Amino acid sequence: MRKFFILIPLFTLYTTTKAQTTISRDPQIEKMVSEVSKDSLESYIKKMVSFGTRSTLSIQTDPKRGIGAARNWVLSRYNEFAKESGGRLTAFIDTVTLQPDGRRIDNPTLLGNVVATLKGTDTNDDRIFIISGHLDNMRSNVMDGSGDAPGANDDASGVAAVMECARIMSKRSFPATIIFVAVSGEEQGLLGANYMSGKAKKQNRNIEAVLNNDIMGSNNSNETNVINNTKIRVFSESFSVQDTGKAALTIRSLGLENDGKARQLARYVKETRERYVDNLEVVMVYRNDRFLRGGDHTPYVQRGYAAVRFTEMNENYYHQHQDVRLENGIQYGDLPEFMDFEYLRKNTCLNLSNLANLAKSPSMPQEVKVDTKKLTNFTNLSWKAPKSGKVKGYFVMMRETTSSTWQKKIFTTEPKMDLPYSKDNYFFAVQSVSEEGNESLPVVPSPAGR
């Protein structure tokens, strides 16, 4: 088993309890990751393409063609997976009727997100982790719901990853709840994600992370011959629109513009990948999305949830939002033949390992503080136990202020740590750690007296 030694011996001099630990792969997560199948992903994508079009405006009553048939098929797969879940996986199509909006909806239209929920086993744990991809797609003209639109990469790739995670994870149990969603209405203006995140907000649901997968199964660009199937981008916004007033002042005065929820999630994703998925690099992009494009993570970000977007390293615009056609010797259209299923397998493993590590972890430590009562060249941190889950201990993480990733992780069993490093020169955060070593999302300390 691969071991990850992160602790620097120097720290053992200063931490008060047994400070040495190693980070290893959790065998349960390693096993699940090994079950992700390239063939299974390919078969889901080919099936989704076989519905001809999955435009939100396409026919809903035909058993073989259109978005209605496609979402019924996803539901039927979820229901198959549910049989092996001991009653913990339940699935349904969450529908809402969209009214003409003068933009991308021209007639009253039934929208349906296909939602499978793997209920957490800990009744005290109200955390929810979401993985999403969008089932709908589009032709060159977004209002054309009748012609063919294969949508193999955009975004059957994302939905295939969601379904594969559901297939494998629903056979296991986790303390926290995981939701697997095939969204609709993305191409008409993020309508399905807007509906789902709005409903969650109204119900005050505790969504701790959203992993949105959109265009993540192809490996080349249209401008060059560069093939890249060893890197995936994770897009994260610095802070959400809710960070205004006093919150914005705090971010500004403490220099926390790179420590918002989505960016912490991106950093977590990168670290977990290093532990579980070989030959894949997570490239963090410090912006919410690409130019001229949007994604289903954004309605969550706008409501204050931690949400990120996974997208392949290079994009081929001949294959996105294009009618299938041959023009000047160039094949346009989002066809399965342009997919790299091995790359999609690795990207699915990235999702699965992160979802599993998050859902197995205790909840985040509470009341994390850094003592700023006096001028000192040290750092004194303290916190309280998490609301749910059994902890083995905590990781204190630190990095230089210019570093994009955490540089040290120090383990302790105590709810405090004194460090011989100046709080002025580093950023810190604290994670709860389960018996098996699964870490919660990190909490950045607030300034306070102890």
Stretch (H or E) spanning 282: strand 281-285
Instruction: Answer for the pair 150, 217: CB distance below 8 angstroms, yes or no.
Output: no
Q: Is 136 a residue that touches Zn ion (CB under 5 A)?
A: no
For the bound state, the minimum distance from the C-beta of residue 186 to Zn ion, rounded and expressed in Å, comes to 6
Interacting stretch for Zn ion, rule CB under 5 A, among 105-113, 153-161, 167-175, 221-229?
153-161
Contact segment (CB under 5 A) with Zn ion among 18-26, 149-157, 176-184, 278-286 equals 149-157
CB of 156 to Zn ion, least distance (A): 10
Residue nearer to Zn ion on the CB measure, 154 or 259: 154
When asked if residue 155 is in the footprint of Zn ion (CB under 5 A), the reply is yes
Least distance in angstroms from the C-beta of 232 to Zn ion: 15
The interface region with Zn ion, picked from 62-70, 150-158, 280-288, 399-407 by CB under 5 A, is: 150-158
Q: Given the complex with Zn ion, which of 154 and 243 has the nearer CB atom?
A: 154
- C-beta atoms surrounding 1 within 10 Å: 6
φ/ψ of residue 390, rounded to 5: -95, 130
Q: At what angle do helices 157-169 and 341-360 cross, to 10 degrees?
A: 50
Task: Closer to Zn ion by CB, 190 or 359: give it.
Answer: 190
Compute the chain's Rg from CA coordinates: 22
- Burial of residue 148 (CB within 10 Å: 0-12, 13-18, 19+) is middle
Residue corresponding to tokens 């995981």? 178
Q: Which of residues 192-221 bind Zn ion (CB under 5 A)?
A: 214
Report yes or no: 150 and 334 within 8 Å, Cβ to Cβ: yes
Contacts with Zn ion by CB under 5 A: the residue count is 3
**Which segment (100-108, 120-128, 146-154, 414-422) binds Zn ion by CB under 5 A?**
146-154
Phi/psi of residue 391, each to 5°? -105, 140
Q: Exposed, middle or buried by CB within 10 Å (0-12, 13-18, 19+), for 227? A: middle
- What is the DSSP code (8-state) at residue 210? E
Q: Does 237 bind Zn ion (CB under 5 A)?
A: no
Q: How far is the CB of 352 from Zn ion (least distance, A)?
A: 21
Q: State how far the Cα of 293 lies from the Cα of 314, in Å rounded to an integer.
A: 14
Considering only residues 154, 289, 315, 439, which one is a binding residue for Zn ion as defined by CB under 5 A? 154
Residue 144 Cβ, how far from Zn ion at the closest point, in Å?
Answer: 16
User: Both tokens of residue 267?
Assistant: 């950093």
Kindly indicate which of the ranges 117-125, 148-156, 160-168, 373-381 contains the residues binding Zn ion, using the contact rule CB under 5 A: 148-156
In a 3-state reduction of DSSP, which class is residue 32? helix
217 versus 386: smaller Cβ distance to Zn ion: 217
Cα–Cα distance, 168 to 269 (Å, whole number): 19
| Residue 334 contacts Zn ion per CB under 5 A | no
- Which residues are at the interface with Zn ion (CB under 5 A)? 154-155, 214
